[in-house]
Structure 1
Amino acid sequence: MKSPAVAPAEVEPPDPHAMDRARRVFIAGNGLPGRWQGRERFVVLETGFGLGHNFLATWDAWRQDPARCERLVFVSVEPPPPRCEDLARAHAGCVLAAQLVDRWPPLTAGLHALSFDGGRVELLLGLGDTRHMMRELVLQADAIYLDGFAPQHRREPWDEWLLKSVSRHAEPGTTVATSHMSRAMGKALSALGFEIGPVPGLASKPEAGAARFAPRHALQRPAGREPLAPGARRALIVGAGLAGAACALALSRQGLACTVIDALPGPAQASSGNPAGLFHGTVNPDDGPHARFNRAAALATQRLLVELGVPHSQGLLRLETRLSLARMLAAPGYVQPLSADAAAALAGTALRHPAWFYPGGGAVDPGAYTRAMLAASAAELRLGTAVAALEPHADGWHLLDAAGQRIASAPLVVLAGGHAQLPLLGELAEDLVVQRGQISHLTDAPWCPGVPVAGDGYVIADGRGGLWCGATAQDGDLDPALREADQLDNLQRYTRLAGLGEVPPAPLAGRVAWRLVAPDRLPLIGGLAAPGPRADQLRLQPRCAGLAVCTGFASRGIGWAAMAGRLVAALALGSPRPLEAELLDAVDPLRFALRRARRATNPGLAG
């Protein structure tokens, strides 16, 4: 099994001069704090996080500057990340470092977005192979810290390929500073379009260097990576469930005034209105896109629930029926493999299979979660308002009712609803299936789990001696009535999970809702194709200005919402994307149309 975990760095001896060097070389060498003053957003890209001295010094400089930018985004790549205890030891007594330690993520491969100062400071930490992560980052940096270049501290064979990879994240005016500017490095940077110069005030350290990106030719960026609504100050979000609330929260934290519109009389009235639901990641042997997206989304959910103070159960068991315990033990990280006996002790019943224990997973009331996100966003709610059509105009989009009358207008519109919103999705609707799901409620259950248990179905204690279990899945079934056959199906799943001898009797009780499901069981998050010829790569496809979709959440709305909202905000405004490029493509709404086009031109292609 491919492990999602990243091996931690060996502990380095403390460097008493690290913070001072960060201020003199990297902060001053990039012309800070002056260059970020008066800016809406300033992005720093660092090539080696180490023990976080550069980040902490930059964050401190930002806090001390009364003319600071509105938002500071610090992106850092680190192949062997430090352990939490090493960070704490290196920065004992530092108030800012204590916050970093408190939010330090599990050491799993990929990007981890950590927020500070009410979301105005974000650390986007990329853990894993440096070459891979630099290639997968989607961002344009204002300042670059080339750290980790000292020969005695090299963690990678830094060469022209890596410098070229770094330069792809620069734009005209981007500055670079490094504490070790070798002749070969200077020559390589010059060839890439950087003008080399000394670091101001460091005449005693001639090996330090600075540079400014001044390319000789106009840069061409992939059309599909351009922001959907750069500079937008207002957004309309259609859908007041988990997806819409998460988009409103993320966009509001980027300074946009948001209005959430829904046809129903209250938030979380459709598929987000179930009384309880699960959130957790997934594990698969190759740690492919599904596992990596679900892991990133689950960790984002865990952080947001804590931040918003939403009550939720802590910990979740998911039974493993394919892998042996020996193979499970090869995948440490944010999830813990347990034997059947160890899992049974947590569940409070006999289990026939080993299980994954997700310490950060659990169960939550999705309605409470939705309302908490909406409250934190301070979004305007317009409920009982059905949107029948969209109409482009010079400054964005009009939302129209069934009579063709304008409901509202804004430079950015996000379609974040469920199956009732299919008519607004155009050709995307062809790729989505409406799936009916029924859950069941037992008020007097023979077994209530100590933690939520998932596998072939799921069981969640309701806190009052009863439980919720489910769920059925019928494609294209629009029957809203509770059905005895589906109740029996849910109770049979419960019986198998609990290891009971027979199905317990229970009166018909539960809830019916509908999910939108994509063929690959991943959401649709991103922009729609602009009119004109279609490109043969998602990253090259131009998008409709000011329009995004955030839908197809299947049965994972709770676990996907937080990440989806952050991604919509990044795609709309052009801030660093919180997911790697491969995962952006994995959830791109146009992925199915591209696959159809490829099959049409080459019938031998499988997907």
Structure 2
Amino acid sequence: MTPVHSPAIPCEPLTQAHLVWRDGRPYAPEYQDAYFGSDDPGAEAFEVFIQANELPRRFAAGGRVAIGETGFGTGLNVLLTLQQWRQHAPPGAFLSILSLEAHPLSLDDLREVHRHLDLDDADSQALCAQYPPPISGLHRIVFPGARAILTLGLGDAAPLLAQIRGGIDAWFLDGFAPRSNPGLWNTAVFRQIARLSHPGATFGTYTAAGQVRRDLEAVGFAVKRAPGHGQKRERLQGCYRGTVPDAHKRPRVAVIGAGVAGLASAFALHNRGCEVGVFDPAGAGGGASGNPAAVLLPNPHPKDTELNHLALAGMRSTRALLGEITVQTGIDPVLAEGVSFHGVSAHGRKRVQRLLRAGREHTGALFEPEGGPDSGPEPRLYYPGGCGLNLARLCTALAQSLPPVETRLITGLRLTDEGLILEAEPAESNADPLPWDHVIVATAASGLHTLCPELEQVSTVSGQMTRVRAPLPDWGGQVATGQGYCIPLGPGEAWIGATYRRTQMPDPADAAPDTTPRAEDDQLNLEHLSWIPGLGDPAQVETLERWAGTRAVVRDRLPLAGASLRDPRRRIWLNVAHGSRGLLYAPLAAELLADRLLGLPEPLLDSTSGRLDPQRPLS
């Protein structure tokens, strides 16, 4: 479903809904309408939206189901849908919900309504725990254990829908009454709904307004009247023209690379019901993703709203993946919670001051001006969503949820009409029983730049971490960054780093780049972090361990995530060149590729995902 290109939507704060209670019902004064039209809102939502779209039957059939909703409101429809999903969907099925809201409730109001409706279950708790700040754009929420996601779009419906890719199987046309909310019930919105609808997509709505019926018919829906709920006489339901597509196909997808990008890609596809195979001669986390101490840290910009969209979406995606994988495997990779950025250099001070002047609300609500360790008078930003973690441990946890990684070295890729054939070493291992429907290239630092033309733009950088024992301050277990970063491991111990040294792309004949640790890089790490009490005097610092790795990067330091030019049939995909920001962008890019490959609603607006396009100009 190709989006209609329109100007980028600013990453701006939104006006939240003002909730009042009238006669025991939540009411929106701005729209002069109640959130519910019945004394039994659960029964009304079930009849008008869930039954009208025959969701229990469709859920029981399995496969992938995508639901779109205009008017998230209190989240009632989403939570009731999840209840039906958990009750009826078989193993291996996947649910994607897209819901739009121009004026979101505050988190406190949302929780109050859920308590009032007796909806304080695990899905409500997951929704509230991941509820986004009132910032325009798309925000993804994961429901652990359900194989279900919610993409919550905040802002006006028409411009948001115009920037969304993905197909919808069933619509909840909710929202306040057409007479009081014309911005949601108009031809511009209905045209976008039709563009996103799969053939045979159904809809249900409480309204029976004649203009709504005529507008839906004009964009291709067959509309019929149905008895209204309770005292309401009529409502509308119907379906989009065409034959319903098969949502039960299980594409075979090969992922080349078992670092965080490859494993996150395989994990996202596996969750969506695909058959996946992962290939890496070094095994899971055997390359740069074997880092024992990495930092999840956003990179907001005082003026670049699209970059702020990416940073916020990346932080949320990685944190959701960490939560989900910990629940599934019991492995918790997090070493330290919270990251404080200190302006210890002239450049760092200017960066902090510019972001503070722009305001957290205009830069993705990613930082707090206060909080975190206090080490001196320099300006600081505190990122409560940031963390330090053992990246190798995250890779181990992801690999446990997938088929075993195959340690064959992939040396080539052959395109045929039947599918994609991997060429591997040793030669006797080349024979796969079936060709692959798709291939995701998720490594570029081991001679694989011959696979896709876009990889010729990739260079490499090396980085080294140093584990030390020193008289470090007690900063409450939080990560300190400025020049370099310091991840505490306990009293008197920390990982510090990391160096950033440009290197040559490995020769295709080499199995792996040289990652021999250097004593001089230990010294560089100490010099960069001499501003931290306890690290300024090398005589007081004992080196305990070293780790070094090589990462791929392109000129603008954003990853390449999208279809490769090599195959016009869009069967080869890239999730590469994350550089030092693999934790920030790799899980998000994995979700983007999985959804695009399967035609599901994507986690980024089209203008924002364009920043990751492998065909973007890099000069």
Aligned partners of 1:181, 1:285: CA distance in 2, in Å? 46
Instruction: Out of 18-27 and 269-278, give the one that drifted further.
Output: 18-27
Aligned match for 2:276, one of 248, 255, 258: 258
Distance 1:522 1:585, change over 3 A: same
Letter in 2 for 1:125: L
Matched, 1:453 2:488: no
Find out whether 1:286 has 2:316 as its counterpart: no
- From the superposition, tell whether residues 530 and 152 of structure 1 become closer, same or farther in structure 2 (CA, over 3 Å): same
* 1:236 corresponds to: 254
- Tell me: CA distance 1:60–1:438, structure 2 relative to 1, closer, same or farther (3 Å): closer
Structure 1 residue 393 corresponds to structure 2 residue 416: yes
Instruction: Please tell me the residue identity of whatever aligns with 1:496.
Output: W
Report the Cα distance in structure 1 between the residues aligned to 2:444 and 2:291, rounded to whole angstroms.
14
Matched, 1:432 2:458: yes
**Contact 2:485–2:497 (CA under 8 A) maintained in structure 1:** yes
Q: Deviations over 1:228-250 (max 9, x none)?
A: x9934433222111112112211
- Equivalent pair of 1:448/1:466 in contact (CA under 8 Å): no
Question: Which residue does the alignment assign to 1:571?
Answer: 596
Aligned-residue offset at 1:25 = 1.7
Partners in 2 of 1:403 and 1:467 — Cα distance? 41
Summarize the Cα distance change of 1:203–1:8 in structure 2 as closer, same or farther, 3 Å threshold: closer
**Post-superposition CA distance 1:550-587 (Å, at most 9, x none):** 11111112232322222222122222212221222211
Residue identity in the other structure for 1:376: S
Mind listing any 5+ residue stretches in structure 1 that lack a counterpart?
220-225, 532-541, 596-606
Contact persistence 1:318–1:455 (CA under 8 A): yes
Per-residue CA deviation, residues 50-95 of structure 1 (Å, 9 max, x unaligned), is 0012212222333444789922222101122122222221121322
Q: CA deviation digits over 1:184-241, x for unaligned, max 9? A: 22222222122221135669634522232227xx99xxxxxx99x9934433222111
Structure-2-length-normalised TM-score: 0.83
Answer yes or no: is the 8 Å Cα contact 2:255–2:266 preserved in 1: yes
User: Structure 1 232/412 Cα, relative in aligned 2: closer, same or farther at 3 Å?
Assistant: farther
Counterparts of 1:42-191 in structure 2 under 5 Å? 42-65=65-88, 70-92=93-115, 93-94=118-119, 95=121, 96-116=123-143, 118-151=145-178, 153-154=180-181, 156=183, 158-191=185-218
Q: Which amino acid aligns with 1:512?
A: A
In the TM superposition, what are the counterparts of 1:495-534 in structure 2 within 5 Å? 495-496=530-531, 506=541, 510-529=546-565
Q: Does 1:308 align with 2:356?
A: no
Say whether the 8 Å CA contact 1:47–1:148 is kept in structure 2. Answer: yes
Q: Is the 8 A contact 2:340 2:383 kept in 1?
A: yes
Tell me the CA shift for residue 395 of structure 1.
3.2
Q: Residues of 1 paired with 2:56 and 2:139: CA distance? A: 25
Q: 1:3 to 1:196 in 2, by over 3 A?
A: closer
**2:237 and 2:422 mapped to 1: Cα distance?**
49
C-alpha spacing 1:196/1:515, structure 2 compared with 1 (3 Å): same
Percent of paired sites with the same residue: 28
Matched, 1:27 2:47: no
After superposition, residues 346-357 of structure 1 pair within 5 angstroms as 346-355=372-381, 357=382
Give the total of aligned pairs. Answer: 564
Alpha-carbon RMSD: 3.2
1:335 corresponding residue in structure 2: 366
Match of 2:291 among 274, 279, 297: 274
Report the alpha carbon displacement of residue 19 of structure 1 after superposing the two structures with TM: 2.0
2:570 aligned with 1:558, yes or no? no
The AA in structure 2 aligned to 1:62 is: W
Please list every run of 5 or more consecutive structure 2 residues that lacks an aligned counterpart in the other structure. Answer: 1-9, 26-35, 327-331, 344-348, 505-512
Aligned amino acid, residue 337 of structure 1:
E
**Structure 2 residue identity aligned to 1:366:** L
Deviation (angstroms), 1:46: 0.5
Paired residue type of 1:10:
H
Query: Given the alignment, which residue of 541, 557, 573 partners 1:548?
Result: 573
1:483 aligns with 2:518: yes
C-alpha separation in 1, matches of 2:533 and 2:103: 41
Contact 1:249-1:376 at 8 Å conserved across structures: yes
Task: Kindly provide the CA deviation profile for residues 365-396 of structure 1, in whole angstroms up to 9, marking residues without a partner as x.
Answer: 0000011111123x22222x211111123432
Q: Which residue of 1 aligns with 2:4?
A: none
Q: Does structure 2 conserve the Cα–Cα contact (< 8 Å) formed by 1:432 and 1:518?
A: yes
Counterparts of residues 11-26 of structure 1 (less than 5 Å)? 11-13=19-21, 14=25, 15=36, 16-26=39-49
Aligned to 2:18: 10
Distance 1:200 1:364 in 2: 55
Indicate yes or no: 2:405 matched with 1:381: yes
Q: Deviations over 1:30-66 (max 9, x none)?
A: 3443445424112111111000122122223334447
User: How far 1:176 sits from its partner (Å)?
Assistant: 2.3
Q: Distance in 1 between matches of 2:427 and 2:449?
A: 15
- Mean alpha-carbon deviation: is it higher for 580-589 or for 318-327? 318-327
Alignment of 1:367-378 (within 5 A): 367-377=392-402
1:419 equivalent to 2:445? Answer yes
Q: Which moved more, 1:94-103 or 1:71-80?
A: 94-103
Partner of 1:538: none
Tell me the equivalent position of 1:604: none
- Do the aligned residues in 2 keep the contact of 1:515 with 1:552 (CA within 8 Å)? yes
Partners of 2:254 and 2:198 lie apart in 1 by: 30
Alignment CA distance shift 1:589-1:366 (3 Å): same
C-alpha distance in 1, partners of 2:471/2:261? 32
| Residue 601 of structure 1: aligned partner | none
* CA deviation after TM superposition for structure 1 residue 513, in Å: 1.3
1: distance between equivalents of 2:385 and 2:466?
Answer: 25
Q: Separation in 2 of the partners of 1:299 and 1:319?
A: 23
